[in-house]
Amino acid sequence: MDAETLKPLAAGLAIGLGAIGPGLGIGLLAGKAMEALGRNPEARGPVQQNMILGLAFAEAIAIYALVIAIIILFV
């Protein structure tokens, strides 16, 4: 197998493996936020705001993997 044939495989692996961690993280984060909302519905505003901020942090890791996949495929 030469480098050209391995490229799609490598890109797929990069984003696939790279999405596992952020996926778990986003799930945990949203779950905990729901829990917090259930316990304290008045804190909806701050909980939501901080959750979105945390989601963006977790999502950024997946985006890094995506950038790597894109670079493997197109550069």
Partner 1 sequence: MGKLFSSPKLLVIAIAAIAVLLVSVAGGALGASFGLGFLGGPIPFISVPAEQVVSISGYPLLNSTIMFWVGGLALLFVAWRAGRKPKEVPSGWQNLLEVIYEFFSNTVDGVAGGTPKAGRRFLLLVSTIFLVVMIINWVGILPGVGSVGKIETIEQWVHHHAEELEAEVHEAHPDYSAEQVEALVLVHLLEEHGDDTFVVFDGAIVPLGRGEQARVPLNKIVSFTKDDLHTIEEAAEHDALADGEAHEILEAIHHDVEEGVVKSSFIYNEGEDGAKTYDFTGQTAGLLIPYLRGASTDINTTLAIAIVAMFTIQIWGFRALGVRGYGGKFVVNPFTKGPIATFIGLLEGFGEITRTISFTFRLFGNMFAGEILLIAMAFLLPLIGIIPFMGLELFVGVIQAYIFAMLTLVFGVMAVAIHGDHDSHSEDH
Residues contributing to the site for partner 1 (CB under 8 A): 4, 52-53, 56, 59-60, 63-64, 66-67, 70-71, 74-75
Q: How far is the CB of 12 from partner 1 (least distance, A)?
A: 15
Nearer Cβ to partner 1 (34/67): 67
User: Which among 26, 6, 14, 25 has a CA at the least distance from the CA of 66?
Assistant: 14
Residues 6+ apart with CB under 8 A from 29: 51, 54, 55, 58
Q: How far is the CB of 30 from partner 1 (least distance, A)?
A: 15
